[in-house]
Amino acid sequence: MRRATRHAKWAVCATAVALVATACGGGGDAAGGADGILTSSWGDPQNPIEPANTNEVQGGKVLDMIFRGLKRYDPKTGEARDTVAEKIETTDSQNFTITLRSGWKFSNGEPVTAKSFTDAWNYGAHVDNKQANAPFFSDIVGYEDVHPASGPAKAKTMRGLVVKDDRTFTVALKEKFSTWPETLGYQAFVPLPRVFFTDHDAWLAKPIGNGPYTVESYTRGSGMKLRRWDGYTGEDKARNGGVDLIVYTDNNTAYTDLIAGNLDLVDDVPAQQLKNVRNDLGDRYINQPALIIQTLVFPLYRPEWNKAGTEKVRRGLSMAINREEITKQIFQGTRTPAKDWTSPALGADGGYKDICGDACTYDPAEAKRLIEEGGGLPGGKVTLTSNVDTGSHRAWMDAVCNSVNNALGRGAVCTVNPIGTFADFRNQQTTYKFTGPFRSGWQADYPLIQNFLEPLYYTGGSSNYGKFSNKEFDALVDKANREADEATAVKDFQAAEQILAEQMPAVPLWYQNGSAGYSERLSDVALNQFSVPVYDRITVG
């Protein structure tokens, strides 16, 4: 760790404290400029770092530094740009021909070929490898053979992937999916070198990729050192010498280290510090919308929430929530009141639009009227459920209930059902135990409107925990996926979203922002849509 040199002063400083206390600690002792190395806070990834097995931000951070896939999302606009891919062609939105750019190499010298991709995808999809992101390959023909719904695999590879030559391969999808190439910026789709398959343990201990950084050392539970790879030929060469990721179990400690000058970058400002962060950091604090939305989902599998007229009750409840006040008071502006079911990080072209309209605007009188018109709250009361072990969930649930109770003026009809742990909450959510609205946090895997709608509200969708089902909605999503033109597809998705506004299967609460703070040594710090710092662009000086 770079900090070692600084900490070694401890013994000397302790004796010198009475004389010149301020002369110790702080101060930049590391080299700046193009070879400057920055330190950044990190969390220990739960699963081993494998592209198809990493489904959380911390492991994703590393993958983003050491891998480049066919496409990469522009950190600013979210547009999926060809990276390793030279072109991805299709005539029917179902069969794609992918041509790779020449010259890409893994950091061990092995060239990136079509086979590097197909091997990686087949590995990720295969049920025996137990990869968490396997469902991402489920659109490809032959997925059922390598990953049946139950029982052992019937094939080693997917029929839909065919290598034509070193730089070309074709992909056959089961159904038309026009925006499929846009999903290829997701980390599960990166290529893998041969050594990943031949010496898996060694690879896990020190992952090898084709990105702008290489892993110098990795100590589980304490940190990872990444260094700029000078042989990298991509356009986004790292503008610093490397990044030392340091595991912090408590983001408060990381923040304190940042303030004391021992750490350069913190990408998660603790809630308790939000009041001070402007004072402490000034303009070295970033707070911008991410691809995360929090909603309250109604249990539409319960008849009392799904009979005719209850859509008015659901709409009324949405209008009884004072989002402006709650995001300001409880979240200090790190949440933005929601106006639709996606995220502002998509941008207007990506499909973000104020579709919820009045239904997401605080109007207590109208809320009361709608709820009464719809037959009142089922049983005269409503109970909100969330886990309360993280994320100020208890505080905002209380605030939402107060807001609803004040609007309805019927006493405490809204109550909260706090669940002690996330695991218990998930257990009850996935087994459809909740009888009232429950929290749902959704972080998109790729900046596509499709990812905000289909998994959550399509009949039988993978994360449709409220069991919302609407033929019209499903038809519009199917239509959107068939469109050849992306802009038209977005329009179809927005039309589908309009149905959510009418039916209100889930109340949009707020968009969660990504936050970060950094030291004076750094400049050009930015977060991408996934709230991950864009490390390769940071300069140290």
Partner 1 sequence: MGRYVIRRLLQAIPVLLGATILIYCLVFLLPGDPIQALAGEKKADPNITAILREQYHLNDPLYQRYWYYISGVLTGDFGTDFTGRPVAEIMSETFPVTLNLATIAFAVEAVVGIVAGVFAALGRGKFLDNVVLLSTLLLVSVPVFVLGNVLQLVLGVKWAIAPISYDSEDMTTLILPAVVLASASLAYITRLTRTSMMETMRADYVRTATAKGLSRSRVIVRHALRNAMIPIVTFLGVDLGALMGGAIITERIFNIPGIGGTLYQAVYLRQGTTVVSIVTVLVLVYIAANLIVDLLYAVLDPRIRYA
Task: Give me the residues that bind partner 1 (CB under 8 A), please.
Answer: 1, 3-4, 6-8, 10-11, 13-14, 17, 21-22, 24-26, 44, 46-48, 55-56, 127-128, 130-132, 134-135, 147-151, 219-222, 246-250, 252-254, 256-257, 259-262, 389, 421-424, 426-427, 430, 441-443, 462-463
Q: Which of 445, 443, 431, 400 is closest to 418 using CA atoms?
A: 400
Residue 250: phi and psi, rounded to 5, are -130, 120
Residue 132 and residue 150: Cα distance in Å, rounded? 16
CA distance 269 to 364: 34
Using CA atoms, how far apart are residues 299 and 289, in angstroms rounded to an integer? 28
Compute the half-sphere exposure of residue 436: CA atoms within 13 Å on the CB side of its CA: 19
Locate the DSSP E strands across 466-521.
506-518
Give the residue with the Cβ less far from partner 1, 123 or 362: 123
Nearest distance, CB of residue 128 and partner 1, angstroms: 8
Least spacing, CB of residue 389 vs partner 1, in Å: 8
Least distance from C-beta 457 to partner 1, angstroms?
Answer: 14
Q: How far is the CB of 21 from partner 1 (least distance, A)?
A: 5
Cβ of residue 9: shortest distance to partner 1, in angstroms? 8
Report in angstroms how near the CB of residue 19 gets to partner 1 at its nearest. 11
β-strand partners of 530? none
Alpha-carbon distance of 186 to 529, in angstroms, equals 12
By beta-carbon proximity to partner 1, the closer residue of 100 and 293 is 293
What whole-number distance in Å separates Cα of residue 514 and Cα of residue 80?
Answer: 20
Exposure string for 492-504, b = 16+ CB within 10 A, e = fewer: bbbbbbbbbbebb
Shortest approach of partner 1 to residue 509 CB, angstroms? 15
44 vs 325 by CB, closer to partner 1: 44
> Of 50 and 182, which CB lies nearer to partner 1 in the complex structure?
50
Cα–Cα distance measured from residue 60 to residue 249, given in angstroms and rounded to the nearest whole number: 18
113 vs 386 by CB, closer to partner 1: 386
Retrieve residue 25's tokens: 């600690």
Who contacts 518 (Cβ-Cβ below 8 Å, separation ≥6)?
258, 264, 265, 266, 281, 284, 286, 525
Q: What's the token pair of residue 328?
A: 């300001």
DSSP annotation of 478 reads H
What is the three-class DSSP state of 39?
A: strand
Please identify, using beta-carbon distances, which residue of 17 and 34 lies nearer to partner 1.
17
* DSSP sequence for 212-246: SEEEEEEETTTEEEEEE-TT--SSS--SSSEEEEE
Q: Least distance to partner 1 from the beta carbon of 125, Å?
A: 11
Quick one: 441 or 541, whose CB is closer to partner 1?
441
Largest CA distance in the chain: 78
CB of 226 to partner 1, least distance (A): 17
Q: In terms of CB distance, is 59 or 185 closer to partner 1?
A: 59
CB of 487 to partner 1, least distance (A): 29
Q: Least distance (Å) from partner 1 to the CB of residue 28?
A: 13
In the complex with partner 1, which residue's Cβ is closer, 362 or 530? Answer: 530
Nearer to partner 1, 225 or 339 (CB): 225
Closer to partner 1 by CB, 134 or 338: give it.
Answer: 134
Judged by beta carbon, residue 252 or residue 405, the one nearer partner 1 is 252
Shortest reach from residue 126's CB to partner 1, in Å: 10
Tokens of 115: 């086979």
Residue 319 is given by DSSP the state H
Q: Which two tokens stand for residue 17?
A: 């404290």
CB neighbours (10 Å) of residue 521? Answer: 18
- Virtual torsion, Cα 341, 132, 205, 220, nearest 10 deg: 60
CA distance 146 to 128: 9
Q: How far is CA 30 from CA 49, 125, 242, 462, in A?
A: 29, 43, 12, 48
**Under 8 Å between Cβ of 37 and 5:** no
